Amino acid sequence: MKGKVYTRTGDAGQTSLVSGNRVSKDDVRVEAYGTVDELNSNIGVLLHSTKLDDQNVITLLRKAQNKLFNIGAYLANDATDATLYGLTQEDVDELEHMMDVMSQELPPMRGFILPGGSRLSAQADRCRTVTRRAERRVVTLARSTQVQPLVLEYLNRLSDFFFVFARYNNIQNQVEEIYWDKDA
């Protein structure tokens, strides 16, 4: 890729969407795809956690990163006929299947579990919370424009996956789950 990364076109707080339309950098659409991008970066950190050695999870997370790029590109397009590429119901089903497999190894929950445990689980919890924020930003965007329902479904399931994965990792590594103590 040749050329300079900087263009100076955003110095006044504006950015270009896929259509070429200029909007404020705090526009609800920019907030939505920007939060999806932030999530993708957090998954990158999770992928490089020292104890992540489950190839099925690694493959799923790499796939999720690509799906998030597709979602980001879709959200960055304000055209009324924008197409969502590379995201299908099968992607949601795959997340559900992985959660079902992991959940078989988990004890029943006795209450709300505090985020953390191992470093890997703490990063998965961070990914979960950023996913939830991305989902909220997309919900806000959907109030003013058409958004494919599959985007919200995928983000919702992805946040569920991070919750289950954080628990699964702690249990597999014999790290005690810490439950919320309302009287602490």
pLDDT at 1: 60
Q: How do residues 42-69 score in pLDDT, each as one tens digit?
A: 999 999 986 777 899 999 999 999 999 9
For 158, the domain range is 24-77+88-172
In a domain, 59, yes or no: yes
The structure's pTM equals 0.93
| Nearest-angstrom CA–CA distance, 18 and 25 | 14
Write the pLDDT tens digit of every residue in 11-26: 778 888 888 889 889 8
The C-alpha atoms of residue 65 and residue 36 are separated, in whole angstroms, by: 10
- Of 2-11, 97-106, 121-130, 163-172, the poorest mean pLDDT is in 2-11
Query: Does 19 map to a domain?
Result: no
Band of residue 75 on the pLDDT scale cut at 50, 70, 90: very high
Kindly state whether residue 8 falls inside one of the protein's structural domains.
no
Assess if residue 96 is contained within a domain.
Answer: yes
* 148 within a domain of the structure (yes/no): yes
Q: CA–CA separation, 102 vs 121, rounded Å? A: 14
Q: Give the Cα separation of 155 and 172 in Å (integer).
A: 25
Question: Is residue 50 a part of any domain in this protein?
Answer: yes
Spatial CA neighbour of 145 closest among 55, 45, 27: 27
181 is a domain residue: no
Q: Residues 125, 131, 137, 139: what is their CA dihedral angle, to the nearest 10 degrees?
A: -120
pLDDT at 60: 96
| Domain assignment of residue 146, yes or no | yes
pLDDT one-digit tens code per residue, 97-110 = 999 999 999 999 99
The pLDDT of residue 151 = 98
Q: Which of 180, 161, 138, 108 is CA-nearest to residue 32?
A: 138
Task: State which amino acid sits at residue 5.
Answer: V
Work out the mean pLDDT of the chain and round it to a whole number.
93
Total domain count, the chain? 1
Q: Annotate 94-119 with three-state secondary structure.
A: HHHHHHHHHHCCCCCCCCCECCCCCH
What CATH code is carried by the domain that includes residue 60?
Answer: 1.20.1200.10
